[in-house]
Structures are given as structure tokens and as C-alpha cells.
Structure 1
Amino acid sequence: TVAAPPESKYEPAGHAGQLMHDLACFSCHRINGHGGDMAPDLSWEGSSVQRKWLQDFFKNPNTLRPALIRRMPKFNLSDSEINELTDYIMTVYQSPDVDRDAMPLSGYPAVQVEQGKQLFYSKYACQSCHIIDTKTDKGYIGPTLTQVGSRLSATWIYKWLKNPQSLRPGTVEPNRNMSDEEARALTAYLLTFKGSAKQEAKK
């Protein structure tokens, strides 16, 4: 049995850091080796998500993982608090291996998008764990992808498809050993699914 790494003494800085403590973020989330494990690790959150989605999520947290019992509470934050937390997360929690602006969020060729769709539903059967079409997909293990094109950066999606373990060691997402072409096509397809956290919360 491999021993778990020791708990770090990481503390977020400034007023945003104090807000995170006041909201008890570390009770559920882990950042830089410190915190809980009941919600996603946020160490690289600034590299993974889009700013507008994060702001909307703070206003109206939605369910990204239908199978989880625990839900992100609504904290009724002020706009200034939301902006402060968003600025801090987007600036500080960056992966050195992910340039979130390296790939565009739109403009991919239709043939590439179609290739990605075929890979999603046929070769890799991603719908076994994820939901894009709420009427037909039955995947409840992984996060829902109905708004992934507005939620995640293109580079994060691509890097995740290539090697999820490199971004979040221990994740249940398997490494499919995708080619660069396949990962780009799947990224192009996933980016077509737009929608805000606010819209998703109303469903």
C-alpha cells in the first residue's frame, strides 16, 4: 500500500483567500495538497475553466456530476466577491503545462466536428460515463458535458483527452492513448456544446 502524501500547509493569500476560508471551500475541495476530497481538486482550475462560466457558477451552482449526493451550495455572493474569487482562481490556479489560450474556442471545420462525434459515440463510447444528449445518454459517472463548450478551455479539453492522469493524478478517467488528430476532433465536437451555468441550473 502506498502511503498518502502528507497534508500540505497551503493557504490562499489576500482577501480572496480569506473568502475561501469563510466559505469553507477546503472542507470539500483540495488545492495544492490541502483540503478535502469530496469535490474536484481546484489546483489547476484557472487553466481548465472559462471565466464567464466560473462567474455564473458562483451565482448559480449547478450539478456537474448527477451521481454525487453532495452539491455545491449557493452562497449568495455579491458581484464584487464573485469577481474577486474569479480573478484569484483564474490568475493563481494555473497549470504550467496548459496554455488556456493556445487553442480557439470555436471555428473548427464541420468535418472535424463530425469526426469527433463519431469518436465520442462509437470508438470511445464516452456516453457510457458522460451525458451530452439528455434524452439518450445514460452516463452518470463522469461530469455532464451539456455545456462543456462554455465551461472548459479548449486546451484543457485537448490535454485531458491526451492524458487525464497528467492533469489530475488518480482520476477515474482512463487514458485512451488517443492520437493528436483524434483529440483535436473530439475537442472540436465538445466545444459545440454551449450554455451558461445559469442556464444549466434552470434545467
Structure 2
Amino acid sequence: MNATRRIITAGLLGLTAMSGGCGGTTAQPEPQLPDFTLSCAAVLPAVQGTDLDRKSTEGEEKTLHEGTTALNQALRDYFGSRTDIRMISDEQAEEAGKPRTSLAGAKAAAEKAGCNAILETTLHRYKERIGGEYTAKEPSSVSFSYRLLALPEGTVLCRGRVDEEQEPLMSNLLKFRLSAENSFTWVKAEQLLSQNLREQLNDCSFLVGKQ
């Protein structure tokens, strides 16, 4: 029995040395409206979250810009070429004639695309790892939120928020699956973002099921 226990302990310690689970909290989607039928959803370009308490540095602005680019790519990868999803470009959003960050602007963009729902995403933090795959000094860290609105009322169909920082496997064994998916390495922020986006959108029945 003691020999078996030593073998198990050694195995877990070995995984700890080369692992990188993801720690943090994710908000659950809102209760969904069972009588709403999605014709198509217009996906607005991701926007940067603003901190009203302080002004972002030039470096932070650059990083957030890189993050919104990564988030937009993750959205395109997730939805692929689905006919019930319309990806809205920055130019198309501006052509709607109203501020794209307002509900009126979102409605205008969705209506122009012929959709009865709009998907908005906001990036709050995007921090790249410092170091390599196995010896990162600082882990990747991301935070974003999303919401799917029914039109024309603007009722929230689904919403969620992610605040994730990769952490060693033994810090949170519940995240073992993500560690295995990442081959027990320290992942880049882009991969951490994509994984969490996929999990969030998979929880929204209006956005899955037609894939």
C-alpha cells in the first residue's frame, strides 16, 4: 500500500512540474428564452473594455489591440462558414450610422445584416506569458465578456464573463482537462482566449445546435 501511494504521489509531482492548468472564474449564461427562434446572429467586432478609474498606458493599449485581433479571429474560427452567423466588419459597423458601442448601433448593424440577434464581445485583459512553454516566469492571462441580444427589444439571451490566468495543475485539479488539452505546457494568451471563448459559447444553446 505504501509503495502504491509513493508511486501515485510521484506521478502527480511529475505532472505538476510540467503542467499548466487554467485558474479563474467564469460567469454562467443568463436564463434563456425558450420561445425565441434565432434566424441569424450578427457578430460585432470585439471592443476593448475601458477602465474609468485610470488611463491605460501605451503598452496596455497595444496589448489590448492585439487581444481584440485575437478575439475576432477566435470568433471566426468558432463559427466557421455557418450561414446563420454574419460576421460584421469594422467598416460595416460604422456604416450603420450610429455608435457601434451603443444598443442602437448594434441594432442597426444587425438589421442591416438581416439578423434578429446580435453578439457583442468585450476584451478586458490580454496578457502574454513571459517565458517558454515549460518554464514561464509569468503565465498568460485573459479576461473577456460576451452577450447575445434578441432584437428588436434587446433582451439578453446569453451572457458570460471569463477571468482566467493559467496556473500549475496542482493548484486546481478541476482544471486537469484543460491541462491535458494543452499537453501540460504554458500556453500563449491567444490559445487561452480561444479555449475559454469556445467553452462560453458552447453554453449558449442559441449559438450551438446549428453547427
Compute the TM-score of the two structures, normalised by the length of structure 1. 0.24
User: Greater relative contact order (Cα 8 A, min sep 6): structure 1 or 2?
Assistant: 2
Q: Which has the higher strand share?
A: 2
Structure (1 or 2) with the greater helix fraction: 1
Larger radius of gyration: 2
